[in-house]
Structure 1
Amino acid sequence: MAYSVDSISDNCYEGTTCLINKYNIRDESKLAELEAMITLAITSEMEQVALKDGFNENDYKAIHRQLFDTLYTWAGEYRTIDISKKGTAFAKHDEIPELLMNCFKRLKAMDFFRGLPFDDFIDEIVDIYCTTNYIHPFREGNGRTQRVFLSQLIHYNGYEIHFSKIDTDELMLGTIHAAHGVVDYLRDIFKEHIKPTLR
């Protein structure tokens, strides 16, 4: 989904909103198809991996790099411009490093949510989802990076989630509502789809 940006100043081919890529594809729809194909298999594999430790900004950047390195030279690097989507303005680009550092510092201080009662765990997952969505650190691929990271964090706590089973329109609607301060929809989605890991 296209962001509101100045395409000339944001690593796009001149006069287009198509991101400069390693395949030199200049058609945005064709690039989107290739991007989806490449990242789907990687995402499916990464979502089921339980990290033993980590969950910090370097890990977050590494997830993005692994997902998009075959497509973009800037994979794993923070965006250098300000962006918005569907009326939602994301964090200013120069605030990204500090905001992410504080986000993951809090996560570590809370022992990565280990041992929380289920309802409290859901609240924290919603909170970190909303926080990382607001920060939106990358030029493209934020949602996929976020889903891999959250899947790993959820798995680490003895639960699982399969984002492929969540209606994308429903998740988008919940995300938009949450960006405007209403998290009930998002909370219901996570509560329904986060289940104990079957052993």
Structure 2
Amino acid sequence: MYEEGNSKYCYPNSNVLINIPGFKEQRQLDAFDRVVTLDRLRMLHLKPLKGDYNRAHLCEIHRFLFQDIYPFAGVYRNEEIGKDSFRFANVQFLEPETDRLLLELKAENLLKDLNYKVFTERIAYYLAELNVLHPFREGNGRAQREFIRVLATESGYHLDFTAVEAEEILKAMIQSPYNTQKLIEVFRTITKRIDE
């Protein structure tokens, strides 16, 4: 859970994010969020949102996933957030650092024509870096994984995030700002060449 305190994204005197249906109880919002995003993710598996792998593309994926849930869908956050003792990127650096990172990705030819070992190392690096940025107020993990999944597909790889327990992915993500080895191991479990 994000540390919210007096977040402008939440209802007054509450830690519940302001949401389009108007749920004021977290359990109701969580249930609605799960149902809607699961349906949206299924739609994206059938028809991925392809793009230029830039900030606008990441925002488009986030907007598609959360447009019926949060008024900030597809919009970068403008307040500081963290989980436990970890602070995500400062608001003032979100846009320039996302742009820098995704230009780096383009300079690597969107990870095309890489062998399996190198591909899993580089895809882990990019997911870890996107996670440190955490550009949205909510829904970062799902939007980032979809962005990475579509990128992998265009690079000739299939990612199956269900092949690993969610808890294992979470642990790897928590370690990834300091060491991507566990995340690389996750990717080596969930990644297969499309032509295999």
Given the two structures, how large is their TM-score scaled by the length of structure 2?
Answer: 0.94
1:45 CA drift (Å): 2.7
2:4 alignment partner in structure 1: 5
Preserved contact between residue 163 and residue 189 of structure 2 (Cα < 8 Å)? no
CA displacement, residues 150-181 of structure 1 (integer Å, 9 cap, x when unaligned)? 110111111111213321100011111112x1
CA displacement, residues 5-62 of structure 1 (integer Å, 9 cap, x when unaligned)? 23x3322111110011111100011101100100001113314545665111100000
Task: Identify the match of residue 193 of structure 2 among 158, 171, 196.
Answer: 196
1:196 CA drift (Å): 1.1
1:185 CA drift (Å): 1.0
Unaligned runs of 5+ in 2: none
Task: Identify the match of residue 36 of structure 1 among 30, 34, 37.
Answer: 34
Preserved contact between residue 122 and residue 187 of structure 1 (Cα < 8 Å)? yes
Give the whole-Å Cα distance in 2 for the aligned partners of 1:162 and 1:45.
Answer: 16
Given the two structures, how large is their TM-score scaled by the length of structure 1?
Answer: 0.93
The DSSP-based 3-state class of the residue aligned with 1:73 is coil
**Structure 1 stretch displaced more, 167-176 or 156-165:** 156-165
1:187 alignment partner in structure 2: 184
Q: Aligned ranges for residues 85-164 of structure 1 at < 5 Å?
A: 85-164=83-162
Unaligned runs of 5+ in 1: none
The DSSP-based 3-state class of the residue aligned with 2:19 is coil
Give the whole-Å Cα distance in 1 for the aligned partners of 2:71 and 2:51.
Answer: 27
Letter in 1 for 2:188: K
Give the whole-Å Cα distance in 1 for the aligned partners of 2:136 and 2:77.
Answer: 5
Task: Identify the match of residue 165 of structure 2 among 160, 164, 167.
Answer: 167
Give the whole-Å Cα distance in 1 for the aligned partners of 2:154 and 2:103.
Answer: 17
Preserved contact between residue 176 and residue 183 of structure 2 (Cα < 8 Å)? yes
Letter in 1 for 2:96: E
Give the whole-Å Cα distance in 1 for the aligned partners of 2:48 and 2:72.
Answer: 26
Letter in 1 for 2:62: H
User: For the aligned residues, what is the CA RMSD?
Assistant: 1.5
The DSSP-based 3-state class of the residue aligned with 1:59 is helix
Letter in 2 for 1:94: Q
Preserved contact between residue 81 and residue 87 of structure 2 (Cα < 8 Å)? yes
1:183 CA drift (Å): 1.5
Structure 1 stretches (4+) deviating beyond 3 angstroms?
Answer: 47-53
Aligned residues between the structures: 196
Residues 51 and 156 of structure 1: is their aligned pair in 2 closer, same or farther, counting only changes over 3 Å? Answer: farther
